[in-house]
Amino acid sequence: MSNIFSSSVGKKLIMSLAGLFLIIYLIIHLAINLLVLKESPEAFNIAAHFMGTNPLIRVMEIVLFGGFLLHMIYGVIVTLQNWMARPIGYKISNNSQTSFFSKYMLHTAVVLTIFLVLHLFDFYVKVKIIGNVEEVIYNGNTYHNTAALVIARFKIWWVDLVYIIALLGLGFHLHHGFQSAFQTLGINHPVYTPVIKGFGLIYTILITIGFISIPVLVYLLK
């Protein structure tokens, strides 16, 4: 038991649990981001302020970063271990070895990591660290006009293009990662597994389309 987290299975378990945590976070993140599409930016600015100042959310923010780092680090470790275990490769491949989505998980992970760094600088760093964001007042309370920052960025066509490409990579990554995480947790059943795969596909489509719709609609309508 003491060595489980240093074993190959243990590393996959940590990566899967961290991945599932991030999957849940994406739902919350999307729900808040969609508020920027409302006619008034007030709801989005208030929600962004709450997420940035609530003590519990700030703690969860640290947990989120920790979850992402664990998922990324253990993902790289597991991938490298798999490569080292089969340096020559398989002469005859099967679906589990050559699955299109699993084959490029590391590639999409690298793309998403680069995108996340740019995304954090675009919004998190500018609001939290640099702080050069205009302020608005609602009911006597002062808020950062984060909605204006988002809209300004998504009015630039090449920024939207970068986001769309990265979000397609996210969907690519989620499609395999969702079902893979449950498999690692031991949920592999002839009845439940197809349901999990179907739910994962629906989740992936909705999350990907939901996030992509934001830069597209902001560019076209705002």
pLDDT in tens, 130-156: 777 889 999 999 999 999 999 999 999
Asked if 78 and 84 count as a contact pair (C-beta separation under 8 A), the reply is no
Per-residue confidence (pLDDT) for residue 11, from 0 to 100: 61
- CB-based burial label for 213 (10 Å; 0-12, 13-18, 19+): middle
> Strand pairing partners for 143?
136
Per-residue confidence (pLDDT) for residue 110, from 0 to 100: 78
CA 85 to the chain's CA centroid = 29
Per-residue confidence (pLDDT) for residue 97, from 0 to 100: 43
CA distances from 42 to 32, 46, 79, 147, 151 (A): 12, 6, 44, 8, 13
Rg of the chain, C-alpha, whole Å? 20
Q: What is the pTM of this model?
A: 0.77
Residues in the chain where the model's pLDDT stays below 70? 1-16, 71, 74, 82-83, 85-104, 106, 184-185
User: In the structure encoding, which two tokens stand for residue 165, read together?
Assistant: 């490409």
Which residues touch 63 (CB under 8 Å, ≥6 apart)? 21
Domains and CATH numbers, the chain: 4-221 (1.20.1300.10)
CA–CA separation, 214 and 38 (whole Å): 11
CA–CA separation, 125 and 127 (whole Å): 6
CA–CA separation, 44 and 38 (whole Å): 8
Per-residue confidence (pLDDT) for residue 47, from 0 to 100: 92
Asked if 149 and 88 count as a contact pair (C-beta separation under 8 A), the reply is no
Per-residue confidence (pLDDT) for residue 104, from 0 to 100: 67
CA distances from 22 to 71, 141, 186, 214 (A): 9, 32, 19, 20
